[in-house]
Structure 1
């Protein structure tokens, strides 16, 4: 199973303070409310350990940091998790959930929440996870449809009593972390997902009124925006703290509508620490911060031993290939654009399946890291492809292939686009296309070519995907498509086998998925007599300036040529692009006299209309056709038109 967890950058805002007056947290210092009879409660939290569970790096250091902060606390300490701890990670094939659970048992948290990746091994396996855990897993609003109680292996709430302070803990998920990120049909399996904005506040009120708890902590595997919505829905301010997981943001503790909201990014990079002053059954003040897990923190030896013992079983530290270029496995790149690592993965899939096209979802590429240049180990590959997915080949018509590609386009104007920017959320091989990320676009995906040839909507194509996608995961419309073949081997194994036969690799971006915001009209093309081709375009109304170093002419095989000269005239509303015809001929490669070569010109520009969230600029496109002309001594040249 694969999620849409992303970390698009650091949130550089320091937040601290808060005094409760009339039930609402207001800004102030913790010391201001201290008085006789008060207790300082320390809440430590982490979330989305995921791939860090398979590495003897950050996770053992996080364990040490938790123990250090426990020892330094002036009063009781409660430790909680925000979900997505047991997957995905590179040790899944040999340990499934056991490696991270074994380490977390050393931590001894007071509770964790069931997140979408706790379902990575299936719904039935959740009871095995909870049985192996020395701490409770909460699912307050995902309940048995018949009884309304927590489903097998989970608990609805947990009350922790320490030094006279009573802390009630609830665990919440939203639709995105259940139906949206798993292939489990929860309703058919007898589970009901209740509205977290209703169940959460109601359960918090019950804990305070019926069980007399002093503090309520909501573990919300919902992402920050939904956690903020939870705080806003809690009209009586019964939820004191919301510990967030899922979207993996660096979100230091902040007051939101009477609750303290915090998320510690992911992969054991941070520990959230919130100190609450509790007096007369209420939180009277607070302070909080995110503490980075740095290399100067010693590793917990027991945690390191657990991880390394599992790693030894599968030789994850053995090198499989040498890369001359850095392999980009970061979330932001793979969700937004073509990457060289995405190309490598899908090339391996297509070769193994002997398929026409291969597609993998961006959420299936994990670790949020860059690998190389240098040696790449089997562990690196499993760390980036940690799910127990296999390779499946489907039969799709050309029209179905376009529908499949379009299902992953997030437009700029959509809610997701306004939050994260427009996205393509997939990586491909064997197919090339342009994507237009705007609600008013006639086509979200266009100019599709398979194997270099224009797509035939009625023809059938063999398309290799992972088993999660084949089942309809990540919103792919593939659940009912004919299955031609299944390898039965892990996708990570497929990629490792592919790399072992290479020796040295240098994958690159080839223009397989080209973003386009605006089209340029037909060009006026001239040849200046000095071996230069000059194209003049009328510029769209929203063009304010053109970034000259971004103007390139692309051939269908991924070769491209930068423009020699670019002139944008804002008064005349014209764009002039000049290229060398000899260099252009080398770009398109071997061709015969008279051949017509389709080319694409792309240019980034400042737009008066589009306000981008992720991309720096908008992007123009023009279709250019070049005709091969034979010149002396067999030399080819091109005249564009």
Structure 2
């Protein structure tokens, strides 16, 4: 398995092939998430991207360059994510994959989202095996019978062993209730164990097909996997799970992961000694190939040949699509602006979804109302473009069947829940009904002051001994031991249904960053007691069109919030009124004002504070 040399190039290197080597081409995809339909994406500059028919077209172009020497592999998460897959419980996807002649698929975490019975139906439907060498039945202690640990393929006389690896964190990245009977064991141990097995059966090339990922900037879990392996044994890791690009050599092993949702396809070519079966060199594309339909006004090409969508696959896709068009094209709301994710802990689309959950009034009799709501970031998959919102788009934004669960909690318990959420300080949940300030520099359990958790209904800090009602999803409850300590009140509502109701009742909708989650970064603020008035740094900053100011008043008083240019000339008064104590927010829309540095000044109770803000257009 030793790699004598490796070269990265963009073009197919036919001139390196000689009569003493066999060319083996590995074509790979990952994280389709049911994306059978073409996508309109902001970064594509008006070009359609992806869709199963064009994904198949790109695969066909790659296969045509090495007709007898290709392997076509997918590293998992093929079903969950779109209405056209959900409505048929993945049958539409597998029918397309069968027509595309995939050779193997790894079991991804979201393969379990509809339950094991549905997964078994899809495995039975598939022409190619589902692989997983590290999913163990807890009762028997043996590998599950429905997935194979490996498969062996022969291409041009070369035996290739492909070993499947599931993510070790599957038990928390799908709803845990769906995988209670399984253990997801060490990927490293499984790789080594089954490398012995495939070598005993004559394999001289070994590929790991792993639903384990990383990125070009952070190799993450797949980097740890590669580092723990012997590069003399393993020739390739086809990765997945993270939805990011990764094409690099880690510990002597090439690792290839593509972008998700049918928007990219990867390829690596191996040059193999025909006698020993050992890899002598390989060529890996510098980037995963983006599956454009057109590019710069012309039909998309692969190696100067126009890419043609696969007619057979397209026929299958159209068969399923036509059955759903009336439903998924139904307009359920309207977005006044694009509502999506932004840099920072608080997202406009997260605010909208959390608001939709908190707006639910049809609650059990023992729940007077919902005070606070949370939704996990991972459940939000894309954005709402400006304009009409269809049922199908709502499904793309929130495809998971997460049910609303309500938890009675005290204010003291709520503080603990927020602290627990912030133990992963890079991704706090999206929230509604409250706001908080946290200090990421502090240790776990000490990032939030109780007086910094503000109840929107009272515009005052949450009371330690008062009972509140917190809405979360059943998924969030099932993966969080701290939430499981609280009484659980179930409902019959899916989060997605609450989003649909909210859009129907409130369109046109808009959402923005409001200062619900504030990061305390000013060192002086670390010890700044909320017995004093406080003007926080605006967020976002720098900003493009609008920004939010947030401030705290310890007592009721007259407030003036004023805007100045950098020369100290007053431009406008944003607020001039008497206000109650507590936290307050104010959004400033820069309108036609030009890029530059501005100052905002808070005057309250004869005291003043000033912050600098930067407008970039």
Is 2:197 the counterpart of 1:219? Answer: no
Q: Conserved in 1, the CA contact under 8 Å of 2:83 and 2:395?
A: yes
Q: Conserved in 1, the CA contact under 8 Å of 2:351 and 2:431?
A: yes
Give secondary structure in 2 for the equivalent of 1:248. Answer: coil
Counterpart of 1:293? 291
What RMSD, in angstroms, separates the aligned Cα atoms of the two structures?
Answer: 3.7
Counterpart of 2:505? 501
Counterpart of 1:78? 71
Is 2:490 the counterpart of 1:477? Answer: no
In structure 2, distance between residues paired with 1:115 and 1:536: 47
Map 1:224-623 onto structure 2 (within 5 A).
224=214, 225-235=220-230, 237-252=232-247, 254-279=248-273, 280-289=276-285, 290-296=288-294, 297-311=307-321, 312-313=323-324, 315-328=327-340, 330=341, 333=343, 336-353=344-361, 354-367=369-382, 370-409=383-422, 422-440=425-443, 443-446=446-449, 447-451=452-456, 452-472=459-479, 475=480, 477-486=482-491, 488-520=492-524, 553-554=549-550, 563-564=563-564, 582-585=573-576, 591=578, 595-596=580-581, 598-599=583-584
Q: Which moves more between the two structures, 358-367 or 493-502?
A: 493-502
Map 1:17-166 onto structure 2 (within 5 A).
26-27=6-7, 34-53=17-36, 57-73=50-66, 75-91=68-84, 93-145=86-138, 149-166=142-159
Structure 1 residue ranges without an equivalent (≥5): 1-19, 412-421, 524-533, 540-545, 568-576, 603-621, 628-637
Q: Conserved in 2, the CA contact under 8 Å of 1:393 and 1:484?
A: yes
- The structural deviation recorded for 1:442 is 6.9
In structure 2, distance between residues paired with 1:556 and 1:125: 52
Residues 1:499 and 1:286: Cα distance change in structure 2 (over 3 Å): same
Structure 2 residue ranges without an equivalent (≥5): 40-49, 215-219, 295-306, 362-368, 554-558, 588-599, 610-617
Residues 1:212 and 1:121: Cα distance change in structure 2 (over 3 Å): same
Residues 1:442 and 1:214: Cα distance change in structure 2 (over 3 Å): closer
TM-score (norm 1): 0.75
Give secondary structure in 1 for the equivalent of 2:482. Answer: coil
- The structural deviation recorded for 1:136 is 0.6
- Number of residue pairs aligned between Structure 1 and Structure 2: 536
In structure 2, distance between residues paired with 1:33 and 1:303: 34
| Runs of 4+ displaced beyond 6 Å | 28-33, 534-537, 546-552, 559-562, 577-581, 622-625
Give secondary structure in 2 for the equivalent of 1:143. Answer: strand
Give secondary structure in 2 for the equivalent of 1:140. Answer: coil
- The structural deviation recorded for 1:218 is 0.3
In structure 2, distance between residues paired with 1:344 and 1:187: 31
Counterpart of 1:179? 171
Q: Conserved in 1, the CA contact under 8 Å of 2:535 and 2:551?
A: no
In structure 1, distance between residues paired with 2:308 and 2:4: 39
- The structural deviation recorded for 1:26 is 4.7
Give secondary structure in 2 for the equivalent of 1:338. Answer: coil
